[in-house]
């Protein structure tokens, strides 16, 4: 049985990838592992008051926002650092990592510099400096952000999946299928960013349902990790993932 | 063919409530193109009430699924183009009744091999439409069963129905069913927001790789390779 590559995240306590089958199919010997759920955090409060309200006012401070993600059961934090100077971003990444102890996805330009202050946790860096890779959404994870970006062994693949457009979801499925058929170039864990599915201006329930639907679709198509915007979707994604993985 | 979803009308309601429910479903169907069917459930176990409800639902112009534990009630309530469903009854009797009325049939069984056997009987008896229903109880079961059915030659080409309940979990079950190849998902009820989400999923065409693989199993490898494309920048 072919087993796809794993990437160890955080302080070694989270693992993404390692699929043995198309998603969640026990009949094919699926690995019982649910996708990791990363909650999005911005350096500033969200512009959507409904979204801000879901975090009970704690989104005013990105560190408190991240702590709240931990309290509600997210597996990690995805910090968008665009707009921050390199030193500010690095300081914020370090403070969130120290306070939460969670694995982090750092999305920014350059993410490598933003992760430079953390040397005791595996970060996932989305870096626009990676040219074509970044434009297409390749994620690189490194065990020490002060090193150069690593070889393929630590790579994850980022796919932006904008529900209800199907392209991103098709791509996730195609990558997973190709990897299981032996394409070693595709055997990295897939991280699906479904945060753009969050519909601004909707009431909390409606917004959560739409984003949770995108998360569910990404999981069923083969995502090993998810980036979500709303806590409702994160909660539903975790519960659905646990059921599908039979945990 | 694009999947459809169906919501349910119970016949165990007053005339005014039935009218109101039909009006709600008409409004939902107008707003959401994927709502292509309606299920009439014989909760009252009364053939006359089922017939009355079926007649009003038929006027919506949607596909009608008649569901009852009493197959004779289904025959009494037949409307043109309807599908008979009786998950708790003997499926052989259901198939004979449907064939006798010229109705289609939704065959429910948790065992894929029995489903295949019933499907071939329904086909031999001339049922105009044969739909298979794996009778799932959870999202996990839905995923495993629909994929398994898609891989069975005798069932892979038949329309597949998934029944779910109401609320957010039912939406998730129905969504997994759609992504795994169900051509019809039948729910007790969904509110407007949930209908919008399900309609969006159905119209998006998002389907699971497991479903695509099962469907492509009989095609030649070359065609399949051409349909599974990963941009080269992901592979470098």
For the whole model, what pTM was predicted? 0.93
Strand order in the sheet with B63-67: B130-133, B104-108, B83-85, B63-67, B35-41, B4-10, B184-186, B161-163
Q: How far apart are the first and last CA of chain A?
A: 21
Residue A160 and residue A137 in contact, taking contact as beta carbons nearer than 8 Å: yes
Report the run of H or E that residue A134 belongs to, with start and end.
helix A132-136
Q: Using 50, 70 and 90 to split pLDDT, how confident is the model at B220? A: very low
Q: Which residue has the tokens 């289904």?
A: B74
Tell me the chain B residues in contact with residue A27 when contact means C-beta distances shorter than 8 Å: 144, 147-148
Name the minimum distance, in Å, from the CA of B47 to any CA of chain A: 38
Confidence band for B231, pLDDT divided at 50, 70 and 90: low
Higher per-residue pLDDT: B79 or B232: B79
The ipTM is: 0.92
Residues 15-44 of B with CB under 8 A from A: none
Tell whether B219 is within 8 A of chain A (Cβ): no
- Both structure tokens of A198: 């969050």
pLDDT in tens, A233-246: 999 999 999 999 99
Q: Which tens digits make up the pLDDT trace of B123-180?
A: 999 999 999 999 999 999 999 999 999 999 888 789 999 999 999 999 999 999 999 9
- For B138, which residue in chain A has the nearest alpha carbon? A243
Check residue B127 and report its DSSP letter: -
pLDDT in tens, A36-78: 999 999 999 999 999 999 999 999 999 999 999 999 999 999 9
Q: Would you tell me which residues 149-168 of chain A have a C-beta closer than 8 angstroms to some C-beta of chain B?
A: 157, 163-166
Question: Is residue A1 predicted with pLDDT exceeding 70?
Answer: no
Q: What is the arithmetic mean of pLDDT over A79-104?
A: 93
- Rank A109-113, A186-190, B88-92 by mean pLDDT and report only the highest: B88-92
Give yes or no for residue B216 having a pLDDT over 70: no
Question: B168, A243: Cβ pair inside 8 Å?
Answer: no
């Amino acid at each position: 049985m072919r087993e796809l590559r794993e990437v160890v995240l955080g302080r070694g306590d989270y693992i993404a990838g390692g699929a043995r089958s198309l998603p969640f199919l026990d009949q094919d010997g699926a690995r019982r592992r649910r996708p990791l759920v990363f909650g999005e955090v911005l350096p500033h409060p969200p512009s959507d008051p409904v979204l801000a309200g879901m975090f009970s006012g704690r989104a005013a401070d990105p560190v408190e926002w991240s702590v709240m993600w931990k309290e509600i059961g997210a597996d990690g934090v995805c910090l968008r650092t665009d707009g921050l100077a390199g030193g500010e971003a690095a300081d914020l990444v370090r403070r969130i990592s120290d306070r939460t102890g969670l694995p982090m996805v750092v999305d920014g330009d350059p993410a490598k510099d933003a992760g430079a202050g953390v040397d005791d946790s595996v970060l996932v860096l989305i870096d626009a400096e990676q040219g074509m890779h970044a434009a297409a959404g390749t994620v690189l994870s490194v065990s020490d952000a002060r090193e150069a970006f690593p070889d393929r062994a630590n790579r994850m693949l980022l796919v932006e999946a904008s529900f209800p457009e199907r392209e991103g979801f098709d791509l996730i499925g195609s990558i997973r299928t190709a990897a299981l058929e032996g394409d070693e170039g595709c055997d990295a864990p897939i991280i699906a960013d479904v945060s753009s599915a969050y519909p601004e201006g909707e009431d909390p329930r409606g917004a959560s349902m739409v984003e949770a639907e995108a998360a569910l679709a990404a999981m069923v198509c083969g995502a090993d990790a998810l980036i979500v915007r709303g806590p409702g979707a994160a909660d539903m994604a975790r519960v659905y993932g646990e059921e599908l993985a039979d945990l | 063919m694009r999947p459809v979803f169906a919501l349910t009308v119970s016949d165990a309601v007053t005339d005014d409530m039935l009218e109101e429910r039909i009006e709600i479903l008409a409004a939902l169907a107008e707003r959401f193109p994927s709502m292509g069917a309606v299920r009439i459930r014989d909760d009252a176990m009364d053939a006359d009430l089922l017939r009355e409800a079926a007649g009003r639902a038929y006027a919506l112009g949607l596909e009608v699924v008649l569901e009852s534990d009493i197959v004779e009630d289904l025959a009494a309530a037949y409307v043109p183009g309807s599908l008979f469903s009786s998950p708790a009854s003997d499926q052989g009797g259901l198939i004979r009744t449907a064939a006798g009325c010229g109705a289609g049939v939704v065959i429910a069984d948790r065992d894929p091999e029995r489903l295949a056997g019933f499907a071939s009987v329904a086909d031999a008896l001339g049922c105009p439409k044969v739909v298979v229903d794996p009778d799932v109880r959870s999202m996990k079961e839905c995923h495993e069963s629909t994929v398994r059915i898609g891989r069975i030659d005798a069932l892979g080409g038949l329309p597949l129905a998934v029944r779910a309940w109401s609320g957010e979990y039912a939406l998730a079950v129905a969504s997994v069913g759609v992504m795994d190849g169900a051509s019809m998902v039948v729910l007790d009820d969904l509110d407007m927001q949930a209908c919008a989400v399900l309609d969006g999923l159905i119209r998006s065409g998002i389907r699971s790789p497991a479903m695509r693989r099962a469907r492509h199993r009989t095609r030649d490898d070359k065609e399949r390779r051409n349909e599974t494309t990963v941009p080269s920048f992901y592979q470098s």
